[in-house]
Amino acid sequence: MRKGIALLMTVALSAALAGCGGSDGGTNEPAGTASDANKGTASETNKGTGNAPAPVDPSSFKEMHLEVLSQLPTNPRKPVEDRLTPIWREKTKVIPDFVEIPANTDYKSWLQMQILANTVPQVIANQNGIADDPANMEMLKKAGMAREITLDELKAYMPLTAERLADLGVTMEQWYKASVDPTDGKLWAIPSLPSPLLKDEYRNSPYGEARLGNGGYGVWFRDDILKKIYPDAMSADDLKKLAVANKGKLSLEQIMDIPIRNLDDLHDYLTKVKDLNLAENGHPITPGHLQLENSRGALYWSLFSATGLSLSQSYPLVINESKNLFADYELTPEWKNYISFMNKSFNEGLFGKEFYIQKNEQRDAKIINGEYAVVNMWAPIAANQDKVKKAGGTYNWRYYPIFANELDPSYQDAANQYFPLTTKWNSKVINPKKVTEDQIPQILHWIDWNDSLEAASLREWGTPDMYTGDGMDRRFKPEYKKVEEYKLLGKQDETGDGWYYGIQGQDGTMTNPEVYGLAMAGEMGYVYSPSVVYPFSESNYDQYTLVNQAWQQHNLKRMSLYAELPVDDATQQAKADYDQVSNDVNNNQIAPHNDELDNLIVKAITGPVGKFDANYKAYTDVLSGSDIADGLSKQKDAWMKYYNLRQNFLKKLN
């Protein structure tokens, strides 16, 4: 499931953060080639500080502990023969002592408390919510708890990162220039790497096939219940047989065999499930659980494509210039229709009375026990199947893109996918109040090692004695068959699977943050991973990936791909202006209403159907109030200024 989640998240983020038009720069030109104006700016950046630090010999480093904000593993299993941690410690002499933000804690509030208490860790490296949030970074900067990283330091202490960038046709100067804070032109957080898809070789490989193109959201159907209602629909086994017969290449049309195309069809199906009055292990089967979590935001990222809308990069705006449409997606008729569907379905008992009051663990336990007929795409299906097999059950799940709407290019970003030279997701911030200057070379070397191709290969394949060959020909040796099954299928065997050796598989709960904690961004993965290089076969069939790939490839035929290059000073300033306005909207106009909005949206969904319009209006009245509306109008204007300037720094890749 981990691989499926990563792929879907990539699709979701691509849909929300897609690029915009530009001239065709060809596919053989290095990704970093820019306009004449941009070259002039880059030449200024190349000057550096004039006080370049001297390179250091990593062998001279002494062992050091670092307090690092990251995520901790939740699985009680520990590696028996940890192959990777000793290598990390040998290469870096750094031993991270990890701390994490407690569950269900607001990141901003947590950070404020740490700043006040002077307990901000030495390095911040959590997945998102700190370094990718301008407001949080501004707090750290004002508190003197974010250290500027210079271009000279990157060049001196991060040569492995430079090698990896060069492989993608990107220079360290370009990476730095694309990564600086647009408000002051300085680098306060070390970003993750650019997408491998900047490179022709990777775009034209199986790695690219699974990642190019925009897909969307789908759900899992219990196939035994599906067959009761639609006898002609394929079961999970039927779909697998079709995939094997077609050597793993299916079209979107081939998998769209279930007559559910919109919210009305889905409502009709859930109603028919309820009418069957089914039970599992003595517990009634609830027709559906579509919203993964109970938060307001989960309504967006759990099933957004159900609305048929397309977001621009300027979240939360939906932009269609041809229709003069610049609107918060929550104020559109399409979003109201979606929430109305949720309201109607809840009142008819299609989601269960506990929908908004049960804890995540309770929801997952029911899914694993088979007590839902339709569940969100991120549900623990693998855990359910393990339980079903142990109990001698026979049902499986179909993953289905029930809202595979055709792309509408008139909506900004709907038919574009772009690849920037950097991503702030999983950026690393160094706290100078807890780190001495003489530690900086070793800390940067530690981050550099985690960026390296060698580290990426070790995470995916283990040590060289575990496999033969290279590139697309690499294969695990027979004695590591259990590792192979673990990496390809997620099959666990405590006598010798991947985690036995400390190698993470599809189940992300079994992870060593010392090895994986700085590499959570997909851009830092290894292109020629086992799932990419092994040829399709019945044994490594993955339904989730196959369905998403069919959807993405279908859309790719009508899409444009762009590399986003470093911009000039005017564009950088426009981006800074946009970030400031957007930050103001989110933190000063919307955030003060968050509790009110949370309560109002729950009321709109759980309240009587006859009062839906009034309850929903109370919700949208807050969003359309003068303060938020004025802020969104300013955000739109600032975005369009930046959007138009940035077009000069996009290079078409297809």
Q: Each residue of 150-184: pLDDT tens digit? A: 999 999 999 999 999 999 999 999 999 999 998 89
How many CB atoms within 10 Å of residue 493?
14
Confidence of residue 316 (pLDDT cuts 50, 70, 90): very high
Q: What is the reported pLDDT for 196?
A: 93
- b/e burial code for range 271-305 (CB count within 10 A of at least 16 → b): eebbeeebebeeeebbbbbbbbebebeebbbbbbb
Spatial distance between the Cα atoms of 18 and 257, rounded to a whole number of angstroms: 29
Q: Each residue of 534-545: pLDDT tens digit? A: 999 888 888 998
Q: What is the reported pLDDT for 14?
A: 38
Average pLDDT, the chain: 88
Task: Please name the amino acid found at residue 478.
Answer: P
Cβ-contact 597, 615 below 8 angstroms: no
Q: What is the reported pLDDT for 462?
A: 97
Q: Each residue of 351-385: pLDDT tens digit? A: 998 888 888 889 999 999 999 999 999 899 988 99
Token pair for 394: 């026979």
Confidence of residue 102 (pLDDT cuts 50, 70, 90): confident
Q: What is the reported pLDDT for 128?
A: 65
Contacts of 463 (CB under 8 A, 6+ apart): 83, 87
Q: Each residue of 104-136: pLDDT tens digit? A: 788 889 999 999 999 999 999 876 678 888 889
Spatial distance between the Cα atoms of 500 and 84, rounded to a whole number of angstroms: 11
Q: What is the reported pLDDT for 522?
A: 67
Cβ-contact 339, 601 below 8 angstroms: yes
* DSSP letter, residue 321: G
Spatial distance between the Cα atoms of 524 and 156, rounded to a whole number of angstroms: 21
Query: What are the two backbone dihedrals, phi and then psi, of residue 287, each rounded to the nearest 5 degrees?
Result: -55, -45
Q: Each residue of 435-447: pLDDT tens digit? A: 999 999 999 999 9
Q: What is the reported pLDDT for 30?
A: 32
Terminal-to-terminal C-alpha distance of the chain:
30
Task: Please name the amino acid found at residue 296.
Answer: R
Tokens 């000793």 sit on residue: 86
Q: Which residue, 184, 189, 177, is CA-closest to 149?
A: 189
Token pair for 284: 């009634």
How confident is the model over 234-249, as a mean pLDDT? 95
Q: Which residue has the higher pLDDT, 303 or 568?
A: 568
* DSSP letter, residue 625: S
Contacts of 185 (CB under 8 A, 6+ apart): 572
Using the predicted structure, report yes or no on whether residue 143 has a pLDDT greater than 90.
yes
Q: What is the reported pLDDT for 150?
A: 97
Q: Point out the least confidently predicted range of 31-35, 73-77, 401-405, 639-643.
A: 31-35
Q: Which residue, 197, 7, 132, 2, is CA-closest to 425?
A: 132
How confident is the model over 41-70, as a mean pLDDT? 73
Q: Each residue of 391-427: pLDDT tens digit? A: 999 999 999 988 887 888 999 999 999 999 988 778 8
Q: What is the reported pLDDT for 472?
A: 94
Confidence of residue 521 (pLDDT cuts 50, 70, 90): low
Task: Please name the amino acid found at residue 230.
Answer: Y
Q: Which residue, 165, 237, 179, is CA-closest to 45?
A: 179
Q: Strand 123-124 and strand 64-69: pairing?
A: parallel
Task: Please name the amino acid found at residue 514.
Answer: E
Contacts of 60 (CB under 8 A, 6+ apart): none
Query: What are the two backbone dihedrals, phi and then psi, of residue 636, each rounded to the nearest 5 degrees?
Result: -60, -45
Of all residues in the chain, the percent with pLDDT exceeding 90 is 67
Confidence of residue 18 (pLDDT cuts 50, 70, 90): very low
